[in-house]
Amino acid sequence: MENDLLKIISAKMDSLSKSHKKIAEYIIKYYDKTAFMTAQKLGTTVGVSESTVVRFACELGYMGYPDLQCAMQQLMRNNLTAVQRMEVTANQCENGDIFEYILSSDIERIRKTMEQISKSDFNRAVDMIASCHTIYIIGSRSSDALASFLWYYFNLIFPRCKNVKATTTSETFEQIMRIDENDVIIGISFPRYSMQTAKALKYARTKGANVIALTDSRNSPIAKYAHELLLAQGDIASFADSLVAPMSVINALIAAVSVKNIDMVSRNLQTLEQIWQKYDVYTQSDEEEI
């Protein structure tokens, strides 16, 4: 899927007008930059009008420039280096307030996630988790933080929940070697995608386990192994991955699973509160300063 846009351009190159060829050649050479340009900026950069850029997108078979832009972003989704991502962020923020830009972008990611996520997929994922024997959770690199957060709360709810650490390939498989059709594995991966997570989900699928994938695109390498796919908007144009949207989905999963198992969760939390109080796990608001 990553090379579809380049194949389309290559197939149509000979039939393109002079102006459209200029755009095509620029995209081929600098798709990592053009993926985040507006139609107006791309036109100015290449030396054509904004309307010419829009017509070029339609000439390639896209509904409009936004669809072409999505194709360019998908092309470079897993190829953009950390340095390139930093450059994109700097370019997008060069004339504005970085604080406002980042927070506004995160708000937009949550809005888009609400629009694109399948409620039926979400509900089926909740049912899978609530009724399984053992829950395995895996995420590596920046997604490890998401996996650890989800595991922390699920571990309070369920008696059998494992946080699979995607270290070496052998160690990863050692942690999931007993997975079977009674279990669920939740894989979390965002660009740049983890090979370890994809391998783990593929293995789990062959063992008959139910697979839930939390990722940003249907073209993600872990999506094809999922029984239920939860799509959350990530951020491929920043050095630091934005985890706001996937974290919101995870919060929704925790809440939904808790409500579905409310009696068990209540008993567990009552026990935990007694333990926390007995062993002074948390400070009390009326305690003297330590």
Closest by Cα among 3, 5, 92, 91 to 56: 5
Q: Are residues 169 and 51 in the same domain?
A: no
Residue 46 pLDDT class (50, 70, 90 cuts):
very high
Residue, of 36 and 135, whose pLDDT is higher = 135
Residue 247 sits in a domain whose CATH number is: 3.40.50.10490
Please answer whether residues 46 and 37 qualify as being in contact, where contact means their C-beta atoms are separated by less than 8 angstroms: no
Asked if residue 102 belongs to a domain, the reply is no
* Distance, CA of 202 to CA of 211 (rounded, Å): 9
Asked if residue 210 belongs to a domain, the reply is yes
Q: Are residues 164 and 51 in the same domain?
A: no
Q: Are residues 261 and 148 in the same domain?
A: yes
Asked if residue 103 belongs to a domain, the reply is no
Residue 34 pLDDT class (50, 70, 90 cuts):
confident
pLDDT on residue 1:
37
DSSP 191: S
Asked if residue 154 belongs to a domain, the reply is yes
Using alpha carbons, list the distances in angstroms from residue 127 to 182, 214, 225.
13, 16, 18
Q: The whole model's pTM is what?
A: 0.74
Q: Which range marks the domain in which residue 165 is found?
A: 111-278
Task: Name the domain boundary from 51, 76, 101.
Answer: 76
pLDDT on residue 163:
96
The H or E element that residue 148 is part of is helix 143-157
Q: What is the 3-state secondary structure (H, E, C) of 246-290?
A: HHHHHHHHHHHHHHHCHHHHHHHHHHHHHHHHHCCCCCCCCCCCC
* Distance, CA of 168 to CA of 116 (rounded, Å): 34
| Number of helices followed by number of strands (H, E) in the chain | 13, 5
pLDDT on residue 3:
47
DSSP 164: E
Q: Are residues 62 and 173 in the same domain?
A: no
Q: Are residues 157 and 53 in the same domain?
A: no
Comparing 53-62, 70-79, 254-263, the range with the smallest average pLDDT is 70-79
Asked if residue 104 belongs to a domain, the reply is no
